[in-house]
A = this chain, B = another copy of it.
Amino acid sequence: MQGEPEVAVLRLGHRPGRDERMTTHVGLTARALGADRAILAGDASKSLGTVEDITDRFGGPFEVELTDSPKAVIRDWPGLVVHLTMYGERVQDVEDEIRDAHGGGDPILAVVGSQKVSFDVYEAADMNVGVTNQPHSEVAGLAVFLDHLFESRELEREWQDADRRVVPEATGKTVVPTDEE
């Protein structure tokens, strides 16, 4: 989030056709829950387009980009690389350490896979962290990780350059153009 060291999300292992929706959900979750940038490995141009379109309409700042060299992204990351995996250390045991690093100025790269992630990612990451040690969803794991990292401050995030804004309400679906506000 703005005024804080960067938090980026690296999505590994995208398979065109098969993973479009999950990769799009990773990107949109990164944006909605306080990350600054999503980096999608491989030919994820459809997901990229959807995330860009949502950012154009609902605001940012948020960047999304493709990479052909996800291992270089990990290797060259200037801060802490946190690989989210069901085999990792328990998030509740290590989140203070991650928050301290972030608060102390380290950019955070959260890495999420799709299917099997090669073992060199486990070795290259600074930390392997599990949001539970149960099989579930990389989208769910990322969501809880970001919410814990930001201690729910991301829920109060304000958006810039949006065309429209949803008005939260008990029953209804109200979207207003932001230029009327």
Q: Which A residues lie at the B interface, using CB under 8 A?
A: 21-22, 25, 28-29, 31-33, 54, 58, 86-93, 119, 122-123, 127-128, 130-137, 139-144, 147-148, 152, 154-157, 159, 165-174
Contacts and interface: CB of A to CB of B under 8 A. Distances in A.
A111 to B, nearest CB: 14
Count chain B CB atoms within 10 A of each CB in A87, A147, A154 and give the residue with the most: A87
A168 B136 contact: no
A136 B32 contact: yes
Contacts of A21: 21-22
Query: What is the count of identical protomers in the complex?
Result: 2
B87 A133 contact: no
A146 to B, nearest CB: 9
Given A92-B155, A134-B31, A87 B143 contact: no
Contact of A134 (B58, B139, B147, B174): B58
Nearest to A162: B134
A34 B127 CA distance: 25
Nearest to A89: B168
A63 B89 CA distance: 27
A168 B130 contact: yes
